[in-house]
Amino acid sequence: MINGVLDQAQPFGPLGKGERLALVDVGSGVFEGYCHGGRAQERAYGGAVVGQALAAAYRTVEDDRSVHSLHAYFLRAVTPELPTRYVSDAVRDGRSYSVRQVTASQGGKEALTMSVSFKLPQPEGSRRQPGMPDVPGPEGLDDGFAFRPATHPLRTAVECRQVPDAVGPDEGQIERFAWFRSVGALPDDPALHACALAYISDAPLAPTALVPYGEPRPVGVVLASLDHAMWFHRPFRADEWLLYACRSRLAGDGRTLAYGEFWDRRGQLVASVVQEALLRARA
């Protein structure tokens, strides 16, 4: 079904209609799409690149398989002004699992490499998980994207309600919580919801390390994602409120490491994220 939804490239359309993740099929596992700007408008938003790369991988596997993990490395920034090309190569198709290797490039230079693993539905086994963080619901909370212009592509695609920042109980650990959902309803396609969550996941995670600076864009600090990994645990809807619990546990040697968890309103852990980012003073 994802082929029917993501069949044209529209970089600035609403995420609720799937346009942000749309790709043009060039043929032989090659796709092209446009990514909008992120923190620095001259550079594409990393979540858009990851979301489109996952969409490219999805379009080269059988419809009965769903993503359970992805591991990406950001190699260089891409510009929103030019199309980004995604090449999805089949690494393996087993009886239960499939692996795809996606390379994103622009102007002939590689910008991202990502391994994606898909699986068939499995018999339900034992389940366990920690308890959901005890935080207020999204109703009545402040807009977490209020510092961005109203026309910023992220604000027109994603709703964010910020729980007041808090430093965790362990020395050096920073915790931040926010509720997210797409602006507008998404089609009933689990693949599209997975791509949408990948798109959302990059926005607040690494910036958790900026909480001690007291502002979302501190002057003189460089923050840039180096890699991005996600694990998808159970079905969810990206157009319904999901709590994103972000924790920055380490900063040093010019890098920071952050962990994220997505929870639905029933208290189920639906996805986990880990990201390392460059964090250093601007030269």
**Tokens 């157009």 map to which residue?**
239
Positions annotated as catalytic residues are: 202, 225, 275
Of 272, 246, 243, nearest in space to 137 by CA: 243
Q: Specify if 250 maps to a domain.
A: yes
Tokens in use for 239? 């157009």
Task: Please report which confidence band the pLDDT of residue 100 belongs to, taking 50, 70 and 90 as the band edges.
Answer: very high
In-domain check, residue 99: yes
For the stretch 229-271, pLDDT in tens is 999 999 999 999 999 999 998 888 999 999 999 999 999 999 9
What residue numbers bound the domain in which 236 lies? 2-120+140-281
Give pLDDT tens digits for 201-231: 998 898 888 877 766 667 778 888 999 999 9
The tokens describing 16, both together, are 């609720």
Band of residue 39 on the pLDDT scale cut at 50, 70, 90: low
pLDDT in tens, 150-194: 777 788 889 999 998 655 546 678 889 999 999 989 999 999 999
Close Cβ partners of 21 (under 8 Å, ≥ 6 residues apart)? 6, 15, 33, 51, 52, 55, 192, 195, 196, 199
- 8 Å CB contact between 163 and 142: no
Domain count of the chain? Answer: 1
pLDDT of residue 5: 46
Query: Which residue type sits at 97?
Result: Y
Separation CA 99–CA 101 (nearest Å): 7
> pTM score, two decimals?
0.91
pLDDT at 18 over 60: yes
Tell me if 129 is assigned to some domain.
Answer: no
- Residue 82, domain CATH: 2.40.160.210
Q: Residue 130 falls within a domain, yes or no?
A: no
Where is average pLDDT lowest: 53-57, 136-140, 203-207? 203-207
Query: Is residue 225 helix, strand or coil?
Result: strand
Torsion sign over Cα 79, 81, 82, 86: positive
